[in-house]
Copies of this chain bind each other. A is one copy, B any other.
Amino acid sequence: MHALSKFFQPSSVAIIGATPKEGKVGRAILENFIKRFNGRIYPVNPGYDEVLGLKCYRSIKEIPETPDLGVIAIPALQVPQTLRELGEKGTKAVIIISGGFRETGTKEGEALEEELIKISREYGIRVIGPNCIGVYDNWSGVDTFFTQKMKKPPRGYVAFISQSGAFATALMDWMAYHGIGVSRAISYGNKIDVDDVDLLEYLGEDDKTRVVLMYIEGIKESRGRLFIETARRVSLKKPVVVYKAGKTSRGGRAAASHTAAMAGDYSVYRAAFKQAGLIEVDSFDEMMDFVRIFLDQPLMRGNRVYIVTDAGGVGVMLTDALTSVGFEVPVTPPELREKLRSILPPHCIVDNPIDLTGDTDDERYIRVLEVLSQREDVDAIVVVALPQVPGIKGIFVDYIAKTKEETGKPVVALTIGSEASMETAKKLQEKGVTVFESPERLAKSLKALRTYSLYISKNKPGVYSN
């Protein structure tokens, strides 16, 4: 069993600081567990016999078993003693939500944090936190993300490790809105023990996680080598997308104020990420775009992209964007040109981009996709599906998805517009076709997929030949 598994799949949890008081962190966390956790829950609070319908324990000692996981949400001064009691009880995994430690910049805070480190070592307790929002596990129901204003994303396969609690919360909320499924999210705060390296290692083994996303401000120098080794191992199993904050010297200073992270020399991080096969993103948009394309698309075995469009202009934009990032948008070869000519009206353009023009119906898409599906010289297909075109009824959605399934190649789509466009996008995404609004973001995301595919092909021979 993995050392961290008790954080994610505990049979029982003690919530120290559980309370019925509205607006309190301890109540929000207890409610989270009651809602979805299917293990045993032990609220601990000397002031109550019962909280939200559960028996409440006056002390940790009174709990009738050794809880797998402890969650601490009480004032900082009481945390060391509580951690010690959990240690005595035999609990080996503790999430400390409470703030008031090193992040305060005070001597007292620092001393309290040192005490926590000492106790955790003494009892062999693994600690997430302090000063964190902890763990959101969509499969087990472990959920210490205490803000009530965050919409919960659906169950799924993206894991998120974040050095920023508020950003983790906002991102979960964002993913909920966009229907992106999450496996587990972790924000570790001051990370006195469990850090990015441990979590990456755990998520690498986790069969509910298919893509790992990391927001990093700084990794301790002493953990640098292990981080690279771990990242390299995990990268061969699943894509790891990483956003490094504190890239600039000014940003580094902001990071130091924020999490006391030593943001360090960005060029060193950059080189390490590359060496480890990590996929670095430079923006919020890339973060989410790349995660989506890695979640849904198979590896891309070659460099040749075909575009099928109902809007010539968007075809041109895509051609620019795709070739700019290094893709080939092949000029349609003669025999394919002839084939397309035979199935399309004469005013359609059979050059790549294949322009079905604004009077297209679903049928033209279907016919062209059938032809492209058969070809060895197509490595990915981009379908522009602007639904404003009068003749589009919408059944082409099924055929776009079918093309992806039957060819085992990346098939992505682009739509721009209002509700009808969103509806088309939603249907496509439910069927595993990644949809973009921006030609440039589509191209960059496909490029990330291609780059990762090449990395796998080089470092894990036999997965596919390029």
A389 at the interface (CB under 8 A from B): yes
Interface contact B171-A257, CB-CB below 8 Å: no
Q: How far is the CA of A167 from the CA of B386 in the complex (A)?
A: 9
Cross-interface CB contact of A255 among B104, B164, B316, cutoff 8 Å: B316
Interface contact A417-B166, CB-CB below 8 Å: no
Within 8 Å CB of A349, what residues of B? Answer: 257-258
A124 at the interface (CB under 8 A from B): no
Interface contact A163-B313, CB-CB below 8 Å: yes
A87 at the interface (CB under 8 A from B): no
Q: How far is the CA of A418 from the CA of B150 in the complex (A)?
A: 8
Within 8 Å CB of A310, what residues of B? Answer: 166
Within 8 Å CB of A255, what residues of B? Answer: 316
Whole-angstrom distance between the Cβ of A263 and the nearest chain B Cβ: 8
Q: How far is the CA of A419 from the CA of B312 in the complex (A)?
A: 34
Total interface residues on A, using CB and 8 Å? Answer: 81
What mask results when residues 275 to 317 of chain A are scored 1 for a CB within 8 Å of chain B, else 0?
Answer: 0000000111100000000000000000000000011111111
Whole-angstrom distance between the Cβ of A143 and the nearest chain B Cβ: 15
Whole-angstrom distance between the Cβ of A306 and the nearest chain B Cβ: 12
Q: How far is the CA of A353 from the CA of B284 in the complex (A)?
A: 18
A437 at the interface (CB under 8 A from B): yes
A123 at the interface (CB under 8 A from B): no
Whole-angstrom distance between the Cβ of A19 and the nearest chain B Cβ: 15
Interface contact A419-B317, CB-CB below 8 Å: no
- Residues facing B in A96-121 (CB within 8 A) are 99, 103-104
Spot the interface stretch: A202-210, A323-331, A369-377, A398-406: A323-331
A251 and B323 contact, Cβ closer than 8 Å, known pairs A23-B390, A313-B245, A418-B177: yes
Interface contact B388-A353, CB-CB below 8 Å: no
Within 8 Å CB of A314, what residues of B? Answer: 164, 166-167, 170
Whole-angstrom distance between the Cβ of A162 and the nearest chain B Cβ: 7
Q: How far is the CA of A169 from the CA of B149 in the complex (A)?
A: 37
In the complex, the chain B residue whose C-beta lies closest to that of A351 is B257
Interface contact A417-B316, CB-CB below 8 Å: no
Interface contact A315-B388, CB-CB below 8 Å: no
- Residues facing B in A417-463 (CB within 8 A) are 417-422, 437-441
A147 and B390 contact, Cβ closer than 8 Å, known pairs A173-B416, A254-B315, A259-B312: yes
Within 8 Å CB of A78, what residues of B? Answer: none
In the complex, the chain B residue whose C-beta lies closest to that of A284 is B438
Q: Tell me which of A147, A284, A346, A421 has the highest count of chain B C-beta atoms within 10 A of its own C-beta.
A: A284
What mask results when residues 347 to 359 of chain A are scored 1 for a CB within 8 Å of chain B, else 0?
Answer: 1010101010010
Interface contact A315-B247, CB-CB below 8 Å: no
Q: How far is the CA of A298 from the CA of B299 in the complex (A)?
A: 47
Interface contact A167-B311, CB-CB below 8 Å: yes
A248 at the interface (CB under 8 A from B): yes
The contact sample of 27 A-B pairs, CB cut-off 8 A, is A99-B347, A104-B346, A147-B390, A149-B387, A149-B388, A151-B420, A162-B313, A164-B312, A166-B311, A166-B312, A166-B389, A167-B311, A170-B311, A174-B421, A177-B422, A215-B313, A243-B317, A245-B316, A246-B316, A247-B320, A248-B320, A250-B319, A251-B316, A253-B351, A254-B353, A258-B316, A283-B440
Q: Name the 6 nearest CB pairs between A and B, nearest first.
A: A164-B313, A166-B311, A251-B320, A177-B418, A258-B312, A173-B417
New A-B pairs, 5, CB < 8 Å, besides A164-B311, A251-B317? A170-B314, A174-B421, A246-B320, A284-B317, A285-B438
